[in-house]
């Protein structure tokens, strides 16, 4: 196989409850995560290795790093470490997911690279080994190996698919994503939560809320919660102001995804998204990102 093309979806956190800091420095969480039909595209082309590097990356978007800080390279090196594979690959990334958004773009790209290398190399890893390699790259990477609505626990590496009944309340729902011109640094957000020590949600409360929703028949809107909004909204007041405006003016419910700065609202079938996009760009400027999509 000389070339592989992988879809690299974005994700949103419908429920995100950060429950406390762990001894290893990470945070424990309880989350319901849903991948989207919107995302990046990664093409991996095998090439003859010369004197240059084993892996190269190109992307026309200037903000995308093309050095070892990109998780695509980290994924490729992890694959080589796990398999000893010696082939060369050039990656071409079409980047649509905005950076610094809380939409999981970097993790999704890393897993797309792993899947592509696995196929190009002839399937050198078992499903279990592929999952363990993905887990070393980032807390939410495991989600993208099987991108369906899922429950996420631990530091994000414990993934469990939701029930079929719950999936029917999620899959296919229309979503409008939007992001201001600024990003929120994830490390900063967690540091602020540690310092404040008042934003954590008890694990028992989060699990109780989750269990009640899973056992019931309420819509996805009734699930929405994110306790990382506290530190983000206190500093970036434009986020809660716009979410409240969309709620009162258009009757839509939404949240910030992950540590932000991207937010989302659910749209009813037949509801026009253009007036909401116009409102978003009136409030946040013409450079604000907005994308209609659906939950996978």
Based on the fold, state whether residues 137 and 201 are members of the same structural domain. no
* CATH code assigned at 96: 3.30.230.10
Cα dihedral 206→211→216→218 (10° resolution): 30
19 lies in the same domain as 47: yes
Which tops the pLDDT comparison, 139 or 31? Answer: 31
What pLDDT, on a 0 to 100 scale, did the predictor assign at position 70?
A: 96
Specify whether the CB–CB gap between 147 and 111 falls below 8 A.
no
Dist CA 246 CA 202 (whole Å): 30
Which residue in the list 11, 40, 95, 179 is annotated as catalytic? 11
Band of pLDDT at residue 69, cut at 50, 70 and 90: very high
Q: Are residues 157 and 181 in the same domain?
A: no
Q: Write the pLDDT tens digit of every residue in 100-144.
A: 999 999 999 999 999 999 999 999 999 999 999 998 898 788 889
Domain that holds residue 114: 3-161
The percentage of residues in the chain with a pLDDT greater than 70, rounded to a whole number, is 100
- Mean confidence (pLDDT) of the chain: 95
**179 belongs to the catalytic site:** no
Same-domain check for residues 122 and 226: no
User: Residues 150, 177: one domain?
Assistant: no
**Number of domains observed in the structure of the chain:** 2
Residue 27 lies in a domain: yes
Residues 126 and 260 in one domain: no
pLDDT for the residue 1 = 63
144 with 9, same domain: the answer is yes
The terminus-to-terminus CA distance of the chain in angstroms comes to 28
For 279-294, what is the mean pLDDT?
A: 97
| Average pLDDT of span 204-222 | 96
| Pair 12, 91 in one domain | yes
166 is a domain residue: no
Q: Is 11 a catalytic residue?
A: yes
Indicate if 262 and 117 belong to the same structural domain.
Answer: no
Is the model's pLDDT at 148 over the cut of 80?
yes
What is the pLDDT at residue 228? Answer: 98
Q: What tokens appear for 169 in the block?
A: 């309340």
Of the listed ranges 23-32, 70-79, 89-98, the least confidently predicted one is: 23-32
pLDDT tens digit sequence for 174-209: 999 999 999 999 999 999 999 999 999 999 999 999
Same domain assignment for residues 11 and 157: yes
Residues 53 and 129 in one domain: yes
Does the residue 242 lie in any domain?
Answer: yes
Q: Does residue 209 share a domain with residue 118? A: no
Selecting among 28, 95, 140, 179, the annotated active-site residue is 140
Joined together, the tokens standing for residue 228 give 């990382």
Q: What is the CATH number of the domain that holds 263?
A: 3.30.70.890
pTM: 0.94
């Amino acid at each position: 196989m000389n070339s592989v093309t992988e879809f690299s979806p974005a994700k949103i956190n419908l429920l995100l409850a950060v429950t406390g800091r762990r001894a290893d420095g990470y945070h424990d969480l309880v989350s319901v995560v849903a991948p989207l039909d919107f995302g990046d595209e990664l093409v991996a082309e095998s090439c003859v290795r010369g004197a240059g590097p084993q892996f190269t990356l190109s992307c026309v978007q200037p903000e995308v790093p093309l050095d070892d800080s990109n998780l695509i390279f980290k994924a490729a090196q992890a694959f080589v470490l796990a398999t000893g594979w010696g082939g060369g690959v050039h990656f071409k990334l079409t980047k649509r997911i905005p950076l610094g958004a809380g939409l999981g773009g970097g993790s999704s790209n890393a897993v797309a690279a792993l899947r592509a290398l696995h196929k190009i190399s002839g399937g050198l890893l078992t499903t279990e080994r592929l999952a363990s390699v993905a887990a070393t790259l980032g807390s939410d990477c495991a989600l993208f190996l099987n991108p369906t609505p899922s429950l996420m626990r631990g530091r994000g590496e414990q993934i469990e698919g939701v029930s079929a009944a719950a999936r029917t309340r999620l899959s296919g729902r229309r979503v409008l994503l939007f992001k201001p011109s600024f990003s929120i640094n994830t490390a900063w957000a967690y540091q602020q939560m540690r310092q404040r020590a008042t934003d954590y949600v008890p694990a028992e409360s989060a699990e109780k809320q989750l269990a009640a929703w899973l056992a019931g028949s309420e819509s996805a809107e009734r699930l929405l919660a994110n306790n990382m909004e506290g530190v983000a909204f206190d500093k970036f007041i434009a986020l809660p102001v716009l979410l409240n405006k969309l709620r009162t003016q258009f009757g839509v419910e939404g949240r910030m995804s992950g540590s932000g700065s991207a937010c989302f609202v659910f749209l009813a079938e037949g509801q026009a998204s253009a007036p909401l996009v116009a409102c978003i760009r009136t409030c946040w400027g013409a450079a604000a990102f907005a994308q209609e999509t659906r939950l996978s």
